[in-house]
Amino acid sequence: MTDTKAADTPAAAPGPHPATAPPAPPAAPTAPIGPAGSAAAPADADLDPTAAPAPTPAAVPTTSPGTPVASPPAAPVVSSATAPGAQGAAAAAAPAKAAHGEAADDGAAAAVGDAAAGGDGGQAAGPAEVVGSAQVAGPTRTGDTAQVVGQVAGPARVVGQAACPAEAAGPDQAAVPDLPGGAVEDDPTSAPPAGSMAEPAAPAAPAPEPTPPAAPATKAPATRATPAATLRQWGRRAARATVHAAPALVGYAALRAVGLVALWWAADAQGRDFWGMLARWDGRWYRQIVEAGYHQAIPVGVDGVLQPTNLAFFPLYPWLVGAVDPAVPGGVAVAQIVVSWVASLAAAWGLFAVGDAVGGRRAGVALALVFAVVPHAVVESMAYTETVFTAFAAWALWAVLRRHWVLAGVLCSLGGLTRPTGGALVVAVGLAALVAVCRRPRDWRAWLGGALAPLGFLGFAGWVGVRLGRWDGYLHVQGDAWGMAFDGGAYTLARLGQVLTQPADLQLVVVSIVLLAGLALLALLPGRAMPWPLVVYAAVVLVLAVGGDGFYHAKARLLLPAFPLLLPVALGLAKARLRTVVVTLGVLALFSAWYGVYLLTIWNRSP
């Protein structure tokens, strides 16, 4: 066996061949040219002119120049060759010269693998005659690969790939005529490319067996989830959400417990009822609604002056208390406190969700913990509506951030049934839904959420108007019966100036500090790339608290639902060291506990 490097030879143009080819005459031995021009010894073998080719419609003769091989009768073997750039299948025979091939004299020859024309390496054994159907895709030039699929009959064995540069004769090229026996005349003027080296080609692996076509995929029929499966899925989601929010909930409860323990100790020391202290002030009005319902009209004093009426208090909190009252011992007052405590945990969870959406989990935890230690945090544990409304507001704004428009509308409507501050939530959710509708007019969820948002607030205000027989009935109650008309902040600014320039009670001083801090924190919100619905909500709550006439001592409490104002503080604590966070929250918790005791044992007005 001799390694050879054959010269480029133009290949015969594709065309019809006779059904049988005459036997090839003995090929003259040639000396193949090596890389440095050295001659290799020819193989001693003679062609057998009596070898009969296998009868097939067409034949593609293939020779390996310089390697004469004696051929016994050949058995037909299936072989294939590849020609990229094919323009269609046609029966053709392309004589080519093999490069980097091997000659073998094995008697009956078999062609295994691919015989290719147009590469640099391969294996070829002697002059071979391919008889059968051959597919050559269009005229191929040097560097292409021609695939011949058919039967090889002749005194040669082709193992792997036989590749040689070949050029099919085009319209302007002369085709090399076939020689007898399928041999191709050598071109003595051809030379190998400069710097090329002859190297043996590795034997090709046997052709893989054809893979049967895959059965068509059948789509499994869709199964409808059962109610039990849906409930289980919701339960798993709720469990994961609870675990995620656990640090915020546990921390909030622990910090509020500090204030409640301090208040219980003070009440016990003074011989006062702990539960009665938590159910004072506004709690009495709500308890009256639970037990006797709303007034039919505004009460009038003996002097003809309108008296405060429970028509100013929104109905959702009394409804919840009335639903819980039969299930808890101790009467309506205890039921009020239970509702407030549960609502405070729901509010803390909602604050955590908003903070988590804005600044990550640590920011959410910090926001819930800061909410537990604000100066007026004792109100969060009293029979007031601040925690109930804050829970609805926080979750409604979270739904807005997540674009759950229907949920946001429902929660906003419930918040509007809780307290007058629901107007601020309606503005924030309504504007967010309006922007969503302008961007995507076909988003029916945004349409529905925006339509649901004001129903609670407007529904109760309309009901009061119907009850009093005037369209502005609720405004009449607030302004004329309670003296809380909206004056744009003139009253608040006047009282703030008095507190800052004259001696004042501690409660009024703390309220003034809280109002100024709220204005400063509101100015910081847009600079922190805060979602604009949160900024709008906090701004409207602040405007309602500052712009109302009267009750200056309660304005800090009215700002409790404006929790987005605490986000700059929460984001700062989220980035601080643990020691800094612990010290800060510890100091605030102690002050909040002490101040709560002051509000309920020393201060003689509502917190």
pLDDT in tens, 423-443: 999 999 999 999 999 999 999
- The arithmetic mean of pLDDT across residues 18-24, rounded, is 41
| Residue 21 in domain | yes
Q: Domain ends where: 203, 234, 263?
A: 203
Number of domains in the chain: 2
Q: How confident is the model at residue 534 (pLDDT cuts 50, 70, 90)?
A: very high
Asked if 47 and 166 sit in the same domain, the reply is yes
Amino acid 525: pLDDT: 87
User: Based on the domain organization, do 291 and 380 belong to the same domain?
Assistant: yes
The reply to whether 350 and 477 lie within a common domain is yes
Same domain, 381 and 487: yes
Does the residue 208 lie in any domain? no
Task: Please report the DSSP string for 253-281 in residue order.
Answer: HHHHHHHHHHHHHHHHHHT--HHHHHT-T
Q: pLDDT band for 167, please (50, 70, 90 cuts).
A: very low
The residue among 468 and 110 whose pLDDT is bigger is: 468
Residue 550, pLDDT score: 87
Domain boundary among 170, 203, 236: 203
Domain extent at residue 590: 251-601
Rounded Cα–Cα distance for residues 580 and 582 (Å):
6
Task: Tell me: do 405 and 549 sit in the same domain.
Answer: yes
21 and 129 belong to one structural domain: yes
Question: 34: pLDDT confidence band, cut at 50, 70 and 90?
Answer: very low
DSSP H/E element including 11: strand 9-11
Whether residue 129 lies inside any domain: the answer is yes
Q: Out of 99-103, 331-335, 596-600, which region has the weakest mean confidence (pLDDT)?
A: 99-103
Q: By mean pLDDT, which of 74-83, 407-416, 473-482 is the weakest?
A: 74-83
Neighbours of 285 (CB within 10 A): 15
**Residues 449 and 323 grouped into a single domain:** yes
pLDDT at 226 over 60: yes
Q: Which of 78, 119, 73 is nearest to 100 (CA)?
A: 119
pLDDT interval class at 204 (50, 70, 90): low
pLDDT of residue 81: 36
Cα-flanking dihedrals φ and ψ of residue 97, to 5°?
-100, 140
- Find the mean pLDDT for residues 552-560: 95
Residues 328-343, mean pLDDT to the nearest whole number:
94
**Are residue 181 and residue 255 in the same domain, yes or no?**
no
Average pLDDT, integer, range 300-322: 93
Residue 296 or residue 78, greater confidence? 296
Does a structural domain hold residue 106?
yes
* Residue 233 within a domain: no
Instruction: Specify whether the CB–CB gap between 167 and 138 falls below 8 A.
Output: no
Strand runs labelled E in 96-165:
111-112, 128-131, 150-152, 158-159
User: Residue 596 pLDDT > 60, yes or no?
Assistant: yes
